[in-house]
Amino acid sequence: DVKVTQSSRYLVKRTGEKVFLECVQDMDHENMFWYRQDPGLGLRLIYFSYDVKMKEKGDIPEGYSVSREKKERFSLILESASTNQTSMYLCASSSPEGQFFGPGTRLTVL
């Protein structure tokens, strides 16, 4: 089975802090993604990466950056967390069979 893991299930940070969300997949997938999910807005794509050191902006990249130094790991970085970044963050990796999601990180920014 494909396994996508995320570093934390729950995280509480303060406004202005730098936040790192880590995602690891064990299936040697080339493509990895970061989404955020908010009530009434569904899942929105923040960034995705189709290879090591490659990245592309999704629909809502503002306030975020990403890092893909190794194929299995894709990190989402909030340079200076703000309260409007309180959300559920979902990482995924993909193969031709579909996208496989991690359990999510519920981030609260106070």
Closest approach, Cβ 62 to another protein, in A, equals: 17
Q: Residue 5 and residue 63: Cα distance in Å, rounded?
A: 23
33, 34, 47, 64: residue in contact with another protein (rule CB under 8 A): 33
Q: Choose the binding region for another protein from 12-20, 36-44, 65-73, 79-87 (rule: CB under 8 A).
A: 36-44
Q: Choose the binding region for another protein from 14-22, 27-35, 65-73, 78-86 (rule: CB under 8 A).
A: 27-35
77 binds another protein (CB under 8 A): no
7, 11, 13, 50: residue in contact with another protein (rule CB under 8 A): 50
- DSSP string of the chain? ---EEES-SEEEE-TT--EEEEEEESS--SEEEEEEEETTTEEEEEEEEEETTEEEE-S--TTEEEEEEETTEEEEEESS--GGG-EEEEEEEEETTEEEE---EEEEE-
Binders of another protein among residues 89 to 108 (CB under 8 A) are 90-92, 94, 96-104, 106
Residues that bind another protein (CB under 8 A): 4, 31, 33, 35, 40, 42-45, 48, 50, 56, 58, 88, 90-92, 94, 96-104, 106
